[in-house]
Amino acid sequence: MKIARYEYQGSRQYGVVEAETISPVSGSIYGEFEVSSEKLPLHAVKLLPPVEPRKLICVGLNYALHAKESNAQIPEEPMIFMCSTAAIIGDGESIVLDSSEQRIDFEAEIAFIIKKQAKNRTAAEAKQYILGYTCANDVSNRDLQRKDGQFTRAKSFDTYKPLGPWVETDIDPNNLNISLRQNGVVKQSSNTNDMIFSVEQIFEFVSHVMTLEPGDVILTGTPSGVGPMQSGDVIEIEIEGIGHLTNKVQ
């Protein structure tokens, strides 16, 4: 099931996407909800970021080939950091670069969304607590990342966390093709089976650090092939079984 958040005729709500239509839902997407028989053309609505999280948690250096290209050691445990939820935008919205002179990179990632409160849970329990998965772009100012020695500022500028286009609830996240195209040219092409830590392992690790709440989003790291963006670029991320996230760069 594909669950989207959208705006239609001035109203914002959740819906279920089927083919080229979207049907409004009543109730909570984190609990029981009903799908309306009404079907709106997908092109007639504006897709919004699929959720409104309280927390946006990211994992760094989580693909083996990316670690190799970065000349970095394989981490012994997930390296996590926080980003501002104000950085989140949806499919079709523009990434606004904070500098025209510094290096700002794209990073294709699969993200997962928490369904219910989780604290000190195990990897084996992860599926009970995950609503589903979406595409993400962990936009990063490399110059500031090196200058600061940490990631918060470099990755938290407004518009630096595109998510979408929706949440897919019915896939196995551990063997999915993931790719990124910059102006139609493939720059990243990998599979989530290259992850050092699986979604389930990340879930367990983070839940032992902090209480996770419904709607919280966790980005799981990027594969090899990251590179800089320029104003005017079109960045398209595709994840097998989920869909396409497309954003233009300003």
pLDDT digits (tens, 9 = 90+) for 118-136: 999 999 999 999 999 999 9
Distance between CA atoms of 235 and 243, rounded to whole angstroms?
14
**26 and 144 assigned to the same domain:** no
**6 and 98 assigned to the same domain:** no
**31 and 68 assigned to the same domain:** no
Is pLDDT above 90 for 64?
Answer: no
- Taking alpha carbons only, the member of 55, 56, 58, 53 closest to residue 29 is 53
Record the pTM.
0.96
Question: How many domains, in total, are found in the chain?
Answer: 2
DSSP letter string over 163-178? Answer: EEEEEE-S--TTS-EE
Is pLDDT above 80 for 67?
Answer: no
Share of the chain above pLDDT 70, in %: 100
CATH of the domain at 44: 2.30.30
**34 and 67 assigned to the same domain:** no
Which pLDDT does position 8 carry in this prediction? 97
Which pLDDT does position 249 carry in this prediction? 98
What is the average per-residue pLDDT within 41-50?
Answer: 98
**44 and 11 assigned to the same domain:** yes
CATH of the domain at 231: 3.90.850.10
Confidence label for 93 from pLDDT (cuts 50, 70 and 90) = very high
Residue-range definition of the domain harbouring residue 86: 49-249
**145 and 155 assigned to the same domain:** yes
